[in-house]
Each structure stands twice: as C-alpha cells, then as structure tokens.
Amino acid sequence: MPHPQSAFVTLVLGGVRSGKSRLAQQIAERAEHVTFVATAERRDDPEMHAKIERHRSDRPQNWVTIEEPIQLGQTILEAGKNNDILLIDCLTLFASNLLEAYGEDEPGLQAQIDQLCIALKTAPCSVVLVSNEVGSGVVPAYELGRRFRDLVGEINQRVASVADTVLLMVAGLPFSLKGSVPAEVQQ
C-alpha cells in the first residue's frame, strides 16, 4: 500500500556545509509531530560529539530524537505511525555504518537498502532524508574510500527514485532536481 496522499518523501542532497540539514529542518518544522532520526552514533570522537550537540540544540525542543545507525526501514515503519514527519540525517553516515556492520557481506548490506526503499514507498508519514552528494569530488585513492563513495551514490540514486521531491543544496540555495522547492523555504 502506498503512503497516504498527504505524505511525501523528500531527499535533500548537497556538499559539506551546503545548508542541506538546515533546509531539511525547515521542511520538517511545518509539521506538529516530528521525530529526528540520527544515523550518527555517539563515540569517543570530540568533533562528532560537538556536531551532534550543535544539531540537537538547533532543533525544536519538542522533537523526539531516535538514534538508529542501520535499521532505517524498520524505524520509518514503526516511528512513522506516531509522527507527521520523520527527518533522517544522514544517509552518508548510514552508508558508513553499513560498511562497518556488513563489511564484505553484500547481500546483507543490500537488504538494508532494500528495506529502506520499501519503507519509503509505504511510509505512514512524510519522510525527509539528508545525504551528501559525493559524486562530484576527487576519486578516492584507496579502495574503501571508493567503495564508500559508490555506496553513497547508489543509496542516493535508489532513494531519489522513490522520492517525490529531490533537492540539491549549493551555497545555501536549493535547486529542484525532482518535484519543487517548497514555497516557504524558497530563497
């Protein structure tokens, strides 16, 4: 069964510090019941910890936060029942988490991507996803870096194919690749 007519799936792509998380948050702020799904895990990394805290302080206080590094499909189906919008930030870390968890187990890794795309097609609420556009950069010099870049590109393509709207952020400005930029966030 497809997601409800009023529900939508939006993918927000962009480079580092392009404004993609800010735009995704602006889209989500239109809703009353929002859950933020963080794919980053708290680790002994002071820089990542500071980034997580900065993003958390930027979000409205009434938003629920779920930390889920891998099971995004399941999270969409479960958390979506009680929300207007799920904001997933970000698919780039999801890809990294998949590589760490599944290593060379390609079927296991692909199963998680499949579950994500199936959940997006049947989501009980709207979903906004954030990801880095990594295809415009330099080819990584090492195999794992190339595998990561390719995996992020594959995930972005698969999510974009099921999304209603795909936006690309460049220098803080949104460009529509599919669908349209929401009127209330146009600059």
Q: Where are the domains of the chain?
A: 9-180
How many degrees, rounded to 5, is the angle at CA 56 between CA 54 and CA 58? Answer: 70
Torsion of CA 23, 29, 35, 37, to 10 degrees: 10
Q: Which CATH number fits domain 9-180: 3.30.565.10, 3.40.640.10, 3.40.50.300, 3.40.50.2000?
A: 3.40.50.300
First-to-last alpha carbon distance for the chain, in angstroms, is 35
How many degrees, rounded to 5, is the angle at CA 103 between CA 99 and CA 104? Answer: 125
Q: Note down pLDDT in tens along the chain; length 187 residues.
A: 345 557 899 999 999 889 999 999 999 999 999 999 999 877 777 777 777 777 777 788 899 999 999 999 999 999 999 999 999 999 999 999 999 999 999 999 999 999 999 999 999 999 999 999 998 878 889 999 999 999 999 999 999 999 999 999 999 999 999 999 887 776 5
Q: Are 37 and 88 in contact (CB under 8 A)?
A: yes
User: Could you give the CA distance from residue 149 to residue 147 in angstroms, rounded to a whole number?
Assistant: 6
Query: Which of 3, 33, 49, 55 is an active site residue?
Result: 55
Q: Is 55 a catalytic residue?
A: yes
Token look-up 């602006």 returns: 26
